[in-house]
Amino acid sequence: MASSAQNPFGERPLAYGADGALAMDGHSLEAIARDAGTPCYVYSAAALRARARRLKALLAPGDQPAFSVKACSSLGVLKVFADEGLSFDIVSGGELARLRRLGVEGARIVFSGAGKSAAELQAALEARVRLVNIESLGELDRLRAFARGSRITATVALRVNPDVAADTHEKIATGHAGAKFGLTPGEARQAAAALAGDPWVRLEGLHIHLGSMLRRGDEFARALQRLEPVLLSEEMRPHKLQWFNLGGGVAIPYRLEEPATDPKPLLSPGIGFARRHKLRLMIEPGRYLVGPCGVLLTAVEYVKDRGERCFVVADAAMTELLRPALYGAWHEIVPVRPARGRGLRTFDVVGPVCETGDTLGAARTMPLPNPGDLLAVLDCGAYASSMASGYNSRPLAAEVLVDGETIRRIRRRQSAEELLGLETP
């Protein structure tokens, strides 16, 4: 990967080629857009592998790095991580079905979520997932009954809410007392007491997840201080814990001028905790592994130039990238073929969806594009395709994986028949 000194794109697998157009791992994004149509997502397999390897290098051999499937659940991307030997963190039966399709065994899957349904718990049991992360006493009761009824031993971790308010966007913080996630430390001890001597449910781990876009190791250190008394409590004594799952949340830079995040200082309190207590460490980052590896390509439909206020209307919308509309998130937007000799203008890049909030980027300053020009929205590997919707009856966009010499269409664009396929008038 090029360093940021040579390449304004830092760790992203992007560079302007000799022909003047933006390329991913040497493949022209213009050619990919011509072939796949726009809007489309494009990912680099080399970048996915490089990030997975970098994380693995921070861990000990018995530890398990897991990819949080919700960040990007496309089969073509999951396959790259499965082949790299990663485990997976899932939150639904649908995500489980994706991994089953790839042949990923249950021993490489952990299942979180505040509202797992009866069918989802049953499917998790049957798939023999490594750990079901228990988030409520009600869920534990349900799972115990299913395990007994189906005579399948369930292995579980307790997801503890450590009441640490992470310094991040309020909608993606999960580890404070006001959040719906996890058990209080008191409930976790109750759950451990209830499981003593249960022949069908083995308590094997503790789990925390503080939130997303985390940058501070001290937040993890504080959470671990709150978790330690649970681990050392009387109620835990009958159980043979093996795992400590630190959750995900490693931030990535969304602005070109920001430096890359080093995951090590974030992970080191958890690594120390696991070693001290002789537990195997699990981590489950999503964004860190995929975010910088993908772009969303979009073509300009219209330019509404009103002097003071100028809108570039692109063919991608909040349906392909919800993050700006939902969180006010920033994604860099760059021209695929920068215009020469055109002056800079400031304009909003908006989509065709009928919502004023349907903005991909407000107040961007660059040469004003023309209709037909291509733009690349950066850092769309995570929480872009996986958060897509069909609002305004828009079809799901195509997805492309660039892998060395090859370019593979890992999802084609949804057709009009498929869009209506589930319905009858």
Catalytic residues: 354
CB of 6 to ligand LLP, least distance (A): 28
Please tell me whether residue 250 binds ligand LLP under the rule CB under 6 A. yes
Please tell me whether residue 285 binds ligand LLP under the rule CB under 6 A. yes
Binders of ligand LLP among residues 63 to 102 (CB under 6 A) are 68, 70-71, 89
Pick 249 or 253: Cβ nearer ligand LLP: 249
Q: How many residues lie near ligand LLP (CB under 6 A)?
A: 20
Check: CB of residue 42 under 8 Å from CB of residue 408. Answer: no
Q: Which amino acid is at 254?
A: Y
Check: CB of residue 408 under 8 Å from CB of residue 395. Answer: no
Q: Which of 10, 39, 76, 248 binds ligand LLP (CB under 6 A)?
A: 248
Count Cα neighbours of 374 within 13 Å in the Cβ-side half-sphere.
Answer: 23
CB of 23 to ligand LLP, least distance (A): 26
Pick 39 or 182: Cβ nearer ligand LLP: 182
Helix axes 263-276, 217-231, angle to 10 degrees: 20
Distance CA 414, CA 395 (A): 5
382 closest CA partner among 69, 20, 50 = 69
In the chain, helix, strand, coil percent, each to 5? 30, 25, 40
Pick 172 or 194: Cβ nearer ligand LLP: 172
Q: How far is CA 116 from CA 113, 205, 307, in A?
A: 6, 18, 52
Check: CB of residue 297 under 8 Å from CB of residue 374. Answer: yes
CB of 288 to ligand LLP, least distance (A): 6
Binders of ligand LLP among residues 288 to 317 (CB under 6 A) are 288
Pick 286 or 292: Cβ nearer ligand LLP: 286
Q: Interacting stretch for ligand LLP, rule CB under 6 A, among 115-123, 259-267, 281-289, 354-362? A: 281-289
CB of 381 to ligand LLP, least distance (A): 11
Binders of ligand LLP among residues 197 to 236 (CB under 6 A) are 209, 212
Q: Is 381 left (phi over 0), alpha (psi -120 to 50) or beta?
A: alpha
Pick 51 or 144: Cβ nearer ligand LLP: 51
Q: Which of 12, 51, 144, 287 binds ligand LLP (CB under 6 A)?
A: 287
289 closest CA partner among 13, 53, 42, 37 = 53
Distance CA 287, CA 214 (A): 11
Give the Cβ contact number of residue 344 at 10 Å.
Answer: 8
Between vectors from CA 279 to CA 273 and to CA 280, what angle results, nearest 5°? 105
- Asked, as a colleague might, if the bond just before 185 is cis with ω within 30 of 0, I would say no
Distance CA 274, CA 255 (A): 33
Q: Interacting stretch for ligand LLP, rule CB under 6 A, among 17-25, 286-294, 337-345, 370-378? A: 286-294
CB of 252 to ligand LLP, least distance (A): 9
Binders of ligand LLP among residues 126 to 165 (CB under 6 A) are none
Check: CB of residue 250 under 8 Å from CB of residue 201. Answer: no
Please tell me whether residue 331 binds ligand LLP under the rule CB under 6 A. no
Distance CA 212, CA 210 (A): 7
Pick 261 or 374: Cβ nearer ligand LLP: 261
Distance CA 166, CA 178 (A): 12
CB of 234 to ligand LLP, least distance (A): 27
Q: Which of 135, 219, 284, 379 binds ligand LLP (CB under 6 A)?
A: 284
Please tell me whether residue 286 binds ligand LLP under the rule CB under 6 A. yes
CB of 209 to ligand LLP, least distance (A): 4
Cβ within 8 Å of residue 68, ≥6 positions away? 88, 89, 248, 284, 285, 286
Please tell me whether residue 249 binds ligand LLP under the rule CB under 6 A. yes
CB of 71 to ligand LLP, least distance (A): 5
Please tell me whether residue 116 binds ligand LLP under the rule CB under 6 A. no
Helix axes 93-101, 118-126, angle to 10 degrees: 30
Residue 161-200 contact track with ligand LLP, rule CB under 6 A, x = bound: -----------x----------------------------
Pick 12 or 209: Cβ nearer ligand LLP: 209
* Interface residue list for ligand LLP (CB under 6 A): 68, 70-71, 89, 112, 172, 209, 212, 247-250, 284-288, 323, 383, 387
